[in-house]
Amino acid sequence: MSLSKVEDNMYRDYRSPLSTRYASKEMRYNFSDQNKFSTWRKLWIYLAKAEMELGLAIKPEQIAEMEAHVDDIDFEAAAEEEKATRHDVMAHVHVFGEQCPQAAPIIHLGATSCYVGDNTDLLILRQGFDILLPKLAGVLRHLAKFAFERRNLPTLGFTHLQPAQLTTVGKRATLWLQDLVMDERAISRARNDLRFRGVKGTTGTQASFLQLFNGDGEKVKQLDALVTKMAGFEKYYGVTGQTYSRKVDIECLNALSSLGATVHKICTDLRLLANMKEIEEPFESTQIGSSAMPYKRNPMRSERCCSVARHLMTLSNNTLQTAATQWMERTLDDSANRRLTLAEAFLSADTILMTLQNIMEGLVVYPKVIAKHVAQELPFMSAENIIMATVKAGGDRQVCHEKIRVLAQEAGVQVKQHGLDNDLVDRIKKDPYFGPILSKLDVLLDPSTFVGRAPEQVVEFLEEEVYPVLEKYKNLESKTVELNI
C-alpha cells in the first residue's frame, strides 16, 4: 500500500485525541501494542528462565531464540490468528512460536492468559506513574517559584466569589500547591503499593506449576519469587484469583482522578482571574483567540485542562464498577472496560500535567489591575482599622461605627447604581469628625497591612512542604513543554 493510501486510511479511521493531539510520546508508547506485546514476550522469557533455573527441561538455546525476537512482532499474523481463535494470548503464543520453533514447546508453560495480561498491566501502570510523577514535580517547581516571587503582592481574597479579606497572589498559589503536593503523595503511594501478580495459574492456586514440579511446593514459591524479581518488582500479591484484585485499579485511578479535581480547580481559578484581567495564561503573538472576535484572549489551555480533567474524574467510577462485579475468581467483563479506562486515565493525566506546566511556565500577572480592584474594595474593608484609630484618638466607637456605616452605604450607591469608583475615603476625608486621623489614612489603607501573615506563610509552606517533595526529583529536569494548541 502506498504512503498516500496509508495516510488516507489513517484519516478515515477514528483515532483518540488523547493519542493524536494531547498526550506525550512516552505515555502513548507506554500503552502501545508494541510495548504491550513485547512485554508479553519478556514475561514468557522470564518464566522460561525461572523454570529452567529450577530444573525443568528448558535449554539455553530456547531462551536465546526467544530473546532474539522480543520486539519483531508480526502484528498482521497475530491479528489473523486471533480472528480464527478468538483468543489474543493464544494468537501471540502461536506467532511467537512460529518465530521461535525451538522454543515453541515451552512458551507459556504452565501459565494462564492473565500471567502475561495482568503482569503486563502492572508493569505498564508502574511505568505510567513513573512518567507522570516527574511531570507533576515540574508543575510544582514552576508554581513554587511563582508563589515565592508573588508572595508579597496583595490581592482581593474571595469567599462565595465575593470580595473578602485581602490575601496575596503568592498565598493563593500555595492553595494550589497544597493540593498538588497531596496528589504527589497519593500517586507515589499508589505507585509504590503496586505488586506483581506473579505466577499463580488459572484460579490462583498454582496447581499447574505444582504439577510441573512434581508436587514440590517450595519450588513453585521460588518460581513466583524469581519471576517477580526478573520483572523488577520486590513483592508479589500473596493471593489472587485468575486476576490480581481489581481494587488495585481503584487505588491507581482514585489517585489520578483526584489529580484531575485539583487541576480543574486550579484552572477554573485561572479562568476567573483571566476574566478579571488580573492573571493570564501564556498567549503567543500569533495565537488567535476567536475566529469572529480578533481581540479575544481566551484561556484555552486552562479550558483544555478543565475539559480533560472532567473526563479523568469520571473514569474512577469504571474501576469501582469493575471491582464490584468480579464474580468468584474472575469474569471477562472487566477486559474491554479496562482496555479503555486504564489507558485513558493515564493519557488524560499526562495531558493535563503537560498543559498545566506550560501554563505555569508563562503565567502573566497584571499588578496594576490587581491594585485597581483592591482599591475599589479596600475602603470598605478598612472600616475596622479606621474605627480603632479614631477611638485611640479619643473618639467614640459607636458614633464612629455609625458614621462609617452611613458613608459606606452612600459610597456603595455610587459604585453599584452609578458605576463610579468607590469614594468612601474621600467622604471620610470631608467629614470633620475624622480630622484627628486624616494624617494616618495612607498607612491605614496600605494594602500590605491587610494580608496578615500571607507572605510568611508562603515561605514557610514552600520550605516545609514543597521543597522536600521537589528534592526527590532534583535529578529529573523539568523540560519546557510545547503544546499542540
Give the mean model confidence (pLDDT) for residues 380-392: 84
Whether 484 has a pLDDT exceeding 60, the answer reads no
pLDDT of residue 415: 83
**Where a domain ends, among 339, 365, 391?**
365
Number of domains in the chain: 3
Q: Give the 3-state secondary structure of the chain.
A: CCHHHHHHHHHHCCCCHHHHHHCCHHHHHHCCHHHHHHHHHHHHHHHHHHHHHCCCCCCHHHHHHHHCCCCCCCHHHHHHHHHHHCCHHHHHHHHHHHHCCCCHHHCCCCCCHHHHHHHHHHHHHHHHHHHHHHHHHHHHHHHHHHHHHCCCCEEEEEECCEEEEEEEHHHHHHHHHHHHHHHHHHHHHHHHHCCECCCCCCCCCCHHHHHHCCCCHHHHHHHHHHHHHHCCCCCECCCCCCCCCCHHHHHHHHHHHHHHHHHHHHHHHHHHHHHCCCEECCCCCCCCCCCCCCCCCCCHHHHHHHHHHHHHHHHHHHHHHHHHCCCCCCCHHHHHHHHHHHHHHHHHHHHHHHHHHHHHHCCEECHHHHHHHHHHHHHHHCHHHHHHHHHHCCCCHHHHHHHHHHHHHHHHHHHHCCCCCCCHHHHHHHCHHHHHHHHHHHHHCCHHHHCCCHHHHHHHHHHHHHHHHHHCCCCCCCCCCCCCC
Please check whether residues 242 and 229 belong to one and the same domain.
yes
User: What pLDDT score does 152 carry?
Assistant: 96
Helix orientation angle between 217-230 and 33-53, rounded to the nearest 10 degrees? 140
Q: Would you say residue 165 lies in a domain?
A: yes
Domain final residue pick, 340, 365, 390: 365
In a domain, 243, yes or no: yes
Please check whether residue 121 lies inside any domain of the structure: yes
Does residue 38 lie within any of the structural domains?
Answer: yes
Statement to judge: residues 85 and 215 lie in one domain: no
- 419: domain CATH number is 1.10.40.30
Last residue of a domain, one of 309, 333, 365: 365
Q: Which residue has the higher pLDDT, 18 or 321?
A: 321
Q: What was the pLDDT predicted at 284?
A: 62
| 190-215 residue pLDDT tens | 999 999 999 998 899 999 999 999 99
% residues pLDDT > 90 (the chain): 62
Whether 49 and 193 map to the same domain: the answer is no
Q: Catalogue the active-site residues.
A: 160, 290
Residue 381 has pLDDT above 90, yes or no: no
Is residue 192 in a domain?
A: yes
Asked whether residue 434 falls in the same domain as residue 340, the answer is no
In a domain, 477, yes or no: no
pLDDT at 456: 97
CATH label of the domain that carries residue 265: 1.20.200.10
Mean per-residue pLDDT, 245-264: 96
Question: Residue 187 pLDDT more than 70?
Answer: yes
pLDDT (mean) for 241-250: 92
Q: What is the mean pLDDT of residues 124-138?
A: 96
Percentage of residues in the chain having pLDDT higher than 70: 93
Residues 207, 186 share a domain: yes
Banded pLDDT at 58 (limits 50, 70, 90): very high
409 and 335 co-located in one domain = no
**Within-domain flag for 238:** yes
Is the confidence at residue 442, as pLDDT, over 90?
Answer: no
Residue-number span of the structural domain to which 388 is assigned: 369-449
**349 lies in the same domain as 418:** no
pLDDT at 54 over 80: yes
Mean pLDDT within 443-468: 92
Please state the rounded mean pLDDT for residues 8-21. Answer: 78
CATH number of the domain within which 62 lies: 1.10.275.10
What does pLDDT average to over the chain? Answer: 89
The pLDDT score that the predictor gives to residue 477 is: 57
In a domain? residue 338:
yes
Q: What is the mean pLDDT of residues 17-34?
A: 89
Cell of 389: 484609630
| 271 and 227, same domain (yes or no) | yes
Predicted confidence (pLDDT) at residue 51 exceeds the cutoff of 70:
yes
Q: pTM of the entire structure?
A: 0.87
> 40 with 181, same domain?
no
Q: What is the mean pLDDT of residues 280-296?
A: 60
205 with 274, same domain? yes
Q: What is the pLDDT of residue 438?
A: 87
Indicate if the pLDDT at residue 466 is higher than 60.
yes
Tell whether 278 and 378 lie within a shared domain: no
- Are 224 and 158 within one domain? yes
